[in-house]
C-alpha cells in the first residue's frame, strides 16, 4: 500500500510512519511530497489549520491508497490565559473522504504569546527572539513543544497523536 505524505518535514514524516506502524498491520511504502498548504504560514484558527491539513492531503493524493496532510496552528480557547492553544491537525484522504485527527494542545508562555499575537511573529522567530532556543529551525527539530517540555515530548511525538486520531476515524468509519 502506498501512502503519500504532503510534507518534507521529518517530524511529520516520522510521526506518520510511527503511527501507522503502531496502529495498523498495513505494509506501507511512503512517498513524501513538498506541497503548499494554501493557508498562512502561521494559521491562527481551528478552521484554517484543518483547511491546511486537508489541502496538503488532497494535493498529495496521487497514485496512492491514502494521502496525509499535517498542519500546526493556534486556536482560540476559552479560559486559556492567552486565549489560545497550539495544536496539530492531521487529515487523511482516501480520494473521497477526509478523516481528521487532532493532537494534544498547549498554551504558550505569556512572553511568547505577546510576540505571537500582539507583534505577529511566527513561532520560530518568537522562541528564538526570547532566547528559549538557539535553533532557528525549531519546527523541523524538537519543536516548540520540545522546548517547553525540556525534550520530554518532542514535536514528532506530539504530531503522531494527531495521525493516530485520524487513523481511528478511518478504521472505524
Residue 109's pLDDT is 95
pLDDT in tens, 56-72: 999 999 999 999 999 99
Residues with Cβ < 8 Å from 143, sequence gap 6 or more? 11, 154, 155, 156, 158
Could you tell me if 123 and 116 are in contact, meaning their C-beta atoms sit under 8 angstroms apart?
yes
What is the average pLDDT across 76-87?
Answer: 95
May I ask the CATH class of domain 2-106+154-171? alpha beta
Could you tell me if 10 and 140 are in contact, meaning their C-beta atoms sit under 8 angstroms apart?
yes
Could you tell me if 29 and 1 are in contact, meaning their C-beta atoms sit under 8 angstroms apart?
yes
Domain boundaries, the chain: 2-106+154-171
Residue 173's pLDDT is 87
In the structure, what pLDDT confidence band is assigned to residue 163 with cuts at 50, 70 and 90? very high
Could you tell me if 156 and 146 are in contact, meaning their C-beta atoms sit under 8 angstroms apart?
no
In the structure, what pLDDT confidence band is assigned to residue 117 with cuts at 50, 70 and 90? confident
Could you tell me if 139 and 155 are in contact, meaning their C-beta atoms sit under 8 angstroms apart?
yes
First to last CA, the chain: 19
Residue 140 scores a pLDDT above 90: no
pLDDT in tens, 16-63: 999 999 999 999 999 999 999 999 989 999 999 999 999 999 999 999
Q: Which of 60-64, 74-78, 134-138, 169-173 has the lowest mean pLDDT?
A: 134-138
Amino acid at each position: 500500500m502506498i501512502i503519500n505524505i504532503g510534507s518534507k518535514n521529518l517530524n511529520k514524516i516520522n510521526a506518520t510512519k510511527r503511527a501507522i506502524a503502531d496502529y495498523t498491520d498495513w505494509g506501507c511504502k511512503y512517498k513524501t511530497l513538498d506541497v503548499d498548504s494554501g493557508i498562512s504560514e502561521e494559521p491562527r484558527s481551528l478552521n484554517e489549520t484543518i483547511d491546511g491539513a486537508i489541502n496538503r492531503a488532497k494535493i498529495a493524493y496521487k497514485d496512492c491508497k491514502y494521502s496525509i496532510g499535517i498542519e500546526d496552528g493556534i486556536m482560540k480557547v476559552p479560559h486559556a490565559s492567552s486565549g489560545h492553544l497550539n495544536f496539530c491537525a492531521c487529515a487523511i484522504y482516501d480520494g473521497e473522504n477526509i478523516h481528521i485527527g487532532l493532537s494534544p494542545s498547549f498554551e504558550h508562555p505569556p512572553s511568547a504569546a505577546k510576540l505571537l499575537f500582539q507583534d505577529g511573529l511566527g513561532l520560530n522567530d518568537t522562541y528564538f527572539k526570547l532566547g528559549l532556543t538557539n535553533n532557528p529551525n525549531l519546527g523541523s527539530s524538537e519543536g516548540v513543544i520540545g522546548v517547553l517540555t525540556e525534550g520530554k515530548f518532542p514535536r514528532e511525538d506530539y504530531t503522531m497523536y494527531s495521525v493516530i486520531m485520524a487513523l481511528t476515524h478511518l478504521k472505524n468509519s
